[in-house]
Chain A
């Protein structure tokens, strides 16, 4: 089944980022905004439940880090996420699915999106 749902895109984006190394929630949201040039925003209301879902499914592993704030004595905790073996496999599946999806769409619009109009191609 071909899907290109935003929710699936969010999962693909997060898994891809984690494939590059461990990250924590806030850093992920900033990184996504920066890399997409502000086109994609993973709001915390989406991101954290998504991470929770990935964790519950065993796709990511987590650990807590004590963070000392420079400006206050009170410490806080930061939750780091990294990809599990299962997560890597899921990412590969997702990338394959995404490529397949893109290939299908490209067949209509051309790889650069400048293919002739569908009607003419059909002849």
Chain B
């Protein structure tokens, strides 16, 4: 019988290529892993030490059995597999207990602030101690929120499954819940984080300067771009099927000193396989620069927002009432007015924005559904700018409410300063984190700007109409507002204020 390997990472996968060649290969490999691992500095250090200890013992055992030291090191590292894959597993493992996502039922209407793009920014000079303390406090809060979220979510799932929750331990995912939870969280977390990234365009990956020779492989190009961005690279080659792009194929064009955004546009125009349906795209997500097809990201970043067209409906009815001469039978009732207005607006949006993506036009990335005077628009997050422009032009735009892809489950994001790097750290309820240097908050009222290091340039005015959702304190955000929570729901940043402090 052959040996059974339990969910092993591909042992043949070579250590990540960007492991710097010089010096101790074990240390180099651990350096790469460390960069890819998310989480607190302490946690990352713990994982590193544990793996270092494992590697040393493994190398020692192998050498005792007669293998040369160099070979032993290669084998030991090989057994750990690809650093990016391992980092992903650690992330997943941390996620598995939090199985996250909060059922923020009845969120009422919170003030919605759209996140603007942050630029390439300078590392803040933070007083490390203070930042660390604050980060620790923020982490505590994040953890408490996560636990709460877990309990709420699991209770909800259990209730749905008809499982009694006699005992608190029932909150530990059981076998029956596992697939449910896994499905929900992976999809939601990815979508949430991806849209955060899109909304932020953080870390200036767009502007990273890249070069490659005509004889370089795509993998080399992706790796060098990632290195230039100070990240690990990850490419979804499956999504690029049919383009002829794989790890070993040659790029065939020379790029010298071009910004990554331009380079990718250039490649999309110039490389034969890419000019068709499948276009290359990238996202900077935390410590990883991801490459995949545009469609892949679009699908991952789908979002549903609702728009109430009531104003237009009222308008139509009012106009007709003002001109009663046009004949009773032609006048709209409330119901037909809703239908007319929504149909007109849907057709307009589908005509104006990326026609081919809409289900109505045979696409599979976008759809519009109506209920009363409300439109539920599902589309890749990057298209909402255009969609909202159209709505604005017809006078139908109001701040949308975003819904996470799988319905009603929200993704609170807390903001803290990462003790190790001094950069701003966004953590979602699933434990995914994102480092960025600046975070600009925009709202109709144009609100605040936070710069790494906690320098607040402008403070948030109190919005009188912010509903009272839940009291909470995020310490770093506490600089922005006295009481309340900063939460990120997909691409919208929501500030929730406590009743007592926001009531005027």
User: A interface vs B, CB < 8 Å?
Assistant: 1, 3, 6-10, 24-26, 29, 38-46, 48-50, 52-53, 56-59, 64, 67, 69, 76-79, 86, 89-90, 93, 97
Residues of A within 8 A of B96 (CB): 53, 56-57
Contact A38 B3 (CB under 8 A): yes
Not counting A45-B89, A52-B94, a sample of 17 additional A-B residue pairs whose C-beta atoms are within 8 angstroms of each other reads A3-B175, A6-B7, A25-B53, A41-B8, A44-B51, A44-B80, A46-B7, A46-B8, A48-B51, A48-B86, A50-B93, A53-B96, A76-B52, A77-B49, A78-B50, A79-B53, A93-B174
A47→B469 CA distance, assembly (Å): 42
Residues of A within 8 A of B174 (CB): 93
Contact B3 A41 (CB under 8 A): yes
Residues of B within 8 A of A59 (CB): 172
Residues of A within 8 A of B51 (CB): 44, 48
Smallest CB separation, A22 vs chain B (Å): 15
A89→B170 CA distance, assembly (Å): 11
Interface flags for B43-58 (1: CB within 8 Å of A; 0: not) read: 0001101111110111
Interface: B90 (CB within 8 A): yes
Chain A: which residue is nearest B89 at the CB level? A49
Contact A43 B53 (CB under 8 A): no
Residues of A within 8 A of B80 (CB): 43-45
Chain A: which residue is nearest B56 at the CB level? A76
Residues of B within 8 A of A48 (CB): 47, 50-51, 54, 86, 90
List B305-355 residues whose CB lies under 8 Å from chain A.
none
A1→B426 CA distance, assembly (Å): 37
Contact A45 B9 (CB under 8 A): yes
Residues of B within 8 A of A52 (CB): 47, 90, 93-94
Chain A: which residue is nearest B5 at the CB level? A41
Contact B54 A43 (CB under 8 A): no
Interface: B106 (CB within 8 A): no
Interface centre among A40, A53, A59 (most CB of B within 10 A): A53
Chain A: which residue is nearest B10 at the CB level? A45
Residues of B within 8 A of A24 (CB): 53
Indicate whether A25 sits within 8 Å of B6 (C-beta atoms), given known contacts A86-B169, A86-B172, A89-B169: no
Indicate whether A57 sits within 8 Å of B9 (C-beta atoms), given known contacts A40-B3, A49-B86, A90-B172: no
Contact A40 B176 (CB under 8 A): no
Residues of A within 8 A of B81 (CB): 43, 45
User: B interface vs A, CB < 8 Å?
Assistant: 1, 3-9, 11, 46-47, 49-54, 56-58, 79-81, 85-86, 89-90, 92-94, 96-98, 169, 172, 174-176
A90→B169 CA distance, assembly (Å): 9
Contact B176 A79 (CB under 8 A): no
Contact A57 B89 (CB under 8 A): no
A10→B5 CA distance, assembly (Å): 10
- Out of A1, A39, A93, name the residue touching B3 (CB < 8 Å): A39
A53→B89 CA distance, assembly (Å): 10
Q: Can you list 16 pairs linking A and B with CB atoms under 8 Å apart?
A: A3-B175, A10-B6, A10-B7, A43-B5, A43-B6, A45-B85, A48-B86, A52-B47, A52-B90, A53-B94, A56-B98, A57-B96, A76-B52, A76-B56, A79-B46, A93-B174
Contact A7 B7 (CB under 8 A): yes
A56→B99 CA distance, assembly (Å): 11
A3→B93 CA distance, assembly (Å): 20
Residues of A within 8 A of B4 (CB): 6, 39-41
A76→B5 CA distance, assembly (Å): 29
Residues of A within 8 A of B8 (CB): 41, 43, 45-46
Indicate whether A78 sits within 8 Å of B7 (C-beta atoms), given known contacts A49-B93, A50-B93, A57-B96: no
